Amino acid sequence: MVEALRETVRSARAIVLLSGAGMSAESGVPTFRDALTGLWAQFDPQQLATEAAYRRSPALVWDWYAERREAIARVLPNAGHRAIAAYQQRHPGRLTLITQNVDGLHQRAGSPGVLALHGNIAEDRWLDAPRACCQKEAIEPGRPPRCPVCGNLRRPAVVWFGEMLPQAELVAAQAAAEACDLMLVVGTSGEVYPAAGLAGVARHAGARVVIVNPHETALDDVAHVTWRQTAAQALPALLAEPG
């Protein structure tokens, strides 16, 4: 199977790789729900990861994300992340990387132009539409930081429950899925839409769909090939140069 898949990669004109939580788990990043341990075990994710929760208890939610940020900062990209980045550097413009992960590990590995559909936990943005007084250079520190003039809060730049995905990234991801001739779906359960729908978009447009995951996924029926392997083990072999 490996050699056949490598040949599929070599012959592909345009590749899309969609990555999910399973890929980051190999680096030691806990999944969203697994991060609710210790003090946070009493909370349901939807008690923390919504705009309403943040407005109700901004310090509580900010502290949870601060703890998650610290945990993610301690881990490193794994062999799968590095293999993707190396492939992109060898073949500029040939592989579009779309991720459901917010940990920034693809970016830290060196992948350019990552389409992060759910945002990046290491970054902040304004909670409300910024006024002229909302300047990054004058943010008042705190839990959470805020504008010292109008009080507008900073918030994690991630997509919360009930929020739309960033429009520019979603449009680019859909266009890439429609234009590719190979889609690799790596480490995602395929249950979170609209990201999970990209595999169907690619197949409908004529692309070959390959799933790399040690577990069954909701997208297995969409795939031409399912490879029961982890990203860190599969991608270095799949994306390696022939030799």
For the cut 60, the answer to whether the pLDDT of residue 35 exceeds it is: no
Task: Give the model's pLDDT for residue 154.
Answer: 98
- Tokens of residue 102, six digits: 């917010």
pTM: 0.93
For the cut 90, the answer to whether the pLDDT of residue 16 exceeds it is: yes
Rounded to 5 degrees, what are φ and ψ at 166? -60, 125
Q: How confident is the model at residue 4 (pLDDT cuts 50, 70, 90)?
A: confident
Q: Are 186 and 18 in contact (CB under 8 A)?
A: yes
pLDDT in tens, 36-82: 566 567 777 777 899 999 999 999 999 999 988 998 999 999 999 99
CA distance 88 to 128: 36
pLDDT in tens, 128-180: 999 999 998 899 999 999 999 999 999 999 999 999 999 999 999 999 999 99
DSSP-assigned letters across all residues of 108-129: HHT-SS-EETTEEEEEEEESS-
Q: How confident is the model at residue 242 (pLDDT cuts 50, 70, 90)?
A: low
The helix (H) or strand (E) run that includes residue 18 is strand 15-19
For the cut 80, the answer to whether the pLDDT of residue 34 exceeds it is: no
Q: Are 210 and 5 in contact (CB under 8 A)?
A: yes
Domains of the chain (ranges, CATH numbers): 2-28+77-118+164-238 (3.40.50.1220), 38-73+125-158 (no CATH)
For the cut 80, the answer to whether the pLDDT of residue 206 exceeds it is: yes
Q: For the chain, how big is the Rg over CA atoms in Å?
A: 19
Respond yes or no: is residue 118 known to be catalytic.
yes
Percent of the chain at pLDDT exceeding 70: 95
Task: Give the model's pLDDT for residue 142.
Answer: 96
CA distance 122 to 129: 20
Task: Give the model's pLDDT for residue 3.
Answer: 84
Burial group, residue 77, by CB count within 10 angstroms (0-12, 13-18, 19+): buried
Task: Give the model's pLDDT for residue 39.
Answer: 57
Rounded to the nearest integer, the mean pLDDT of the chain is 92
- Catalytic residue, chosen from 91, 106, 118, 224, is 118
Q: Are 212 and 56 in contact (CB under 8 A)?
A: no
Task: Give the model's pLDDT for residue 30.
Answer: 76
Task: Give the model's pLDDT for residue 155.
Answer: 98
Which amino acid would we find at residue 211?
I
For the chain, the first-to-last Cα distance in angstroms comes to 17
pLDDT in tens, 88-105: 999 999 999 999 999 999
Separation of CA 96 from chain center: 13
